[in-house]
Amino acid sequence: MPNEEDMPNENARLHAPATVRNKAPILDVLRRVLPPRGLVLEIASGTGEHAAHFASALPGLVFQPSDANGANLASIASWTAGLANVAVPIALDVHRQPWPVARADALVCINMIHISPWSAAAALFEGAAAALPPTAPLVLYGPFKRDGRHTAPSNAEFDESLRARDPSWGVRDLGEVADLAASKGFGAPEIFPLPANNLAVVFVRTG
């Protein structure tokens, strides 16, 4: 019988309602673009629900969840307890480089770059360029503008609410993100439209 300290702390679990809606569509994209084997570094893992879902469905991959928030790290540990292909979640702030993970075979970042300053997006690509080998994918998910315009009224309203909370936050323009990616050695994005006016955007390390 396991010791009490080895049991997952379910009281630490946080829940993001959007995860229930988007985890399956995102997984469909990951099945297409992730390698069959290797280490997947997830940046800003949040509650840990995505990591648990993806790792359960993709047993050939090892997932390394991370977050800058201590409460989130406890939640991630609880959601992923018992999954042999999920490493212990680590504290990782994209701005603090070098990252504690020196090498990965793929990188996944869900719903971060619009809920953080633009400097976080720049740091994300800089860190990814250092950690990923050529041909490795970086997968982003979230709302994006296209050609400077919102793709739906709901995204425009969401953008306003984000900027009201913090003027440095906001829905990013995909063209600007692609330019940033190119400056860090990534190719043009492959774009997957997903439900609720969100996109999965896949950048591949070219050099």
Task: Note if the pTM is more than 0.85.
Answer: yes
Q: Residue 197: which CATH number? A: 3.40.50.150
Q: What is the rounded CA–CA span in Å between residue 45 and residue 65?
A: 6
- Total number of residues shown for the chain: 207
pLDDT of 12-21, one tens digit each? 899 999 998 9
The total of structural domains in the chain comes to 1
Residue given tokens 């985890």 in the structure block: 23
Look up residue 44 and give its two tokens. Answer: 């800003």
Range of the domain at 45: 4-204
| Confidence at 102, pLDDT banded by 50, 70, 90 | very high
Look up residue 89 and give its two tokens. Answer: 């979640």
pLDDT of 159-200, one tens digit each? 999 999 999 999 999 999 999 999 999 999 999 999 999 999
